[in-house]
Chains A and B, each alone.
Chain A
């Protein structure tokens, strides 16, 4: 498994605004997190369809943490950042962090249509959806927990 990664991408970029939120591992709490993304997306005037993509990526990241992480503090910690890359576009960045058992990314079986349709394995699409919806995704995991850092450009 990956070593703990303390670097927090983008944290020092000029003009960055940051909001933190901690949610309990409980039904529907992922929707509370999406409300924050909605507010910050509107703050940078991100198109609604792109905000929806960020919201679904957050939902999937939170559900993964709720179902698989076995968090030590029974919580999921989110940090939302809006900013602009030097001479680049504005972005909304979301970090989803849990203090769970972590996972080995190499051991994750990729989902497929063949296994989903007519097969018994219909779940396991969360990470695939996150990677498809966001512009950049970095996942670090270890026995300290899991951190998913994802960014969407306006």
Chain B
């Protein structure tokens, strides 16, 4: 049996968008971290995690996301989340992730916030 979280990454200029699909546990969190660090090394300034297709993130997964957030902040970048279920939103707030990372209802709003002033990060 495998509950592995599938992760798809899309780069739009200096914004990296991560689509997750499935349960984010330690393996899912580590895979997100691995791909996030790859994107940071490749010059990404803003990371957006779209959790539209994820209904459970356990506390181990969140602890790994916090490590990613710390690394992004060290590099003066930003990490944002969008399309969270109410339960994930509540859990992020319990563990403090919401204090340091922005949470948006939709990907469009996250992209708009990530875009430099006067620009948009929308697909051409």
Which of A75-83, A90-98, A102-110, A115-123 forms contacts with chain B?
A115-123
B9 at the interface (CB under 8 A from A): no
A35 to B67, CA, bound (A): 30
> Which residues 35-79 in B have Cβ within 8 Å of A in the complex?
55-56, 58-60, 62-63, 66-67, 70
Q: B94, A129: Cβ atoms under 8 Å?
A: yes
Indicate the size class of the contact surface on chain B: 20 to 34
Contact B95 A125 (CB under 8 A): yes
The contact of B3 among A28, A55, A56, A129, by CB within 8 Å, is A28
- Of the residues B23, B62, B86, contact of A31 by C-beta under 8 Å: B23
Q: Is the CB of B87 within 8 A of A59?
A: no
Q: Chain B residue with minimal CB distance to A54? A: B87
Q: Do B59 and A60 touch across chains, with their CB atoms under 8 A apart?
A: yes
Mark B76-103 against chain A: 1 for CB-CB distance below 8 A, else 0. Answer: 0000000001110011001110011000
Are the C-beta atoms of B94 and A117 separated by less than 8 Å?
A: no
Q: Which residues of the partner chain A approach B96 to less than 8 Å between Cβ atoms?
A: 113, 116-117
| Residue among A63, A113, A117, A118 making CB contact with B58, cutoff 8 Å | A63
| Cβ contacts under 8 Å, B23 to chain A | 28, 31
- Distance in Å: Cβ of B71 to nearest Cβ of chain A: 12
Partner among B25, B60, B85 whose Cβ is within 8 Å of the Cβ of A123: B60
Given contacts A113-B99, A125-B95, contact A49 B86 (CB under 8 A): yes
Q: Which secondary structure characterizes the binding site on chain A?
A: helix
Residues facing B in A42-81 (CB within 8 A) are 49, 52-53, 55-56, 59-60, 63
**A63 and B90 contacting across the interface, CB-CB below 8 Å:** no
* Contact in complex: A56, B70 (CB < 8 Å): no
Q: B residues within 8 A CB of A59?
A: 56, 58
Minimum distance in angstroms from B67 CB to a CB of chain A:
7
* Cα separation A34 to B38 with both chains bound (whole Å): 33
Decide if B70 touches A132 in the complex (CB within 8 Å): no
Inter-chain CA distance A129–B60, complex, in Å, is 12
Please list 19 pairs of residues, one from A and one from B, whose beta carbons are closer than 8 Å in the complex, sorted by A's number: A28-B2, A28-B25, A49-B87, A52-B86, A55-B56, A55-B87, A59-B58, A60-B58, A116-B95, A117-B96, A118-B70, A122-B67, A123-B60, A123-B63, A129-B94, A129-B95, A132-B90, A132-B94, A133-B90
Q: Point out residues on B near A: beta carbons under 8 Å.
A: 1-3, 23, 25, 55-56, 58-60, 62-63, 66-67, 70, 85-87, 90-91, 94-96, 99-100
Interface set of A (CB-CB < 8 Å, partner B): 28, 31-32, 34, 49, 52-53, 55-56, 59-60, 63, 111, 113, 116-118, 122-123, 125-126, 128-129, 132-133
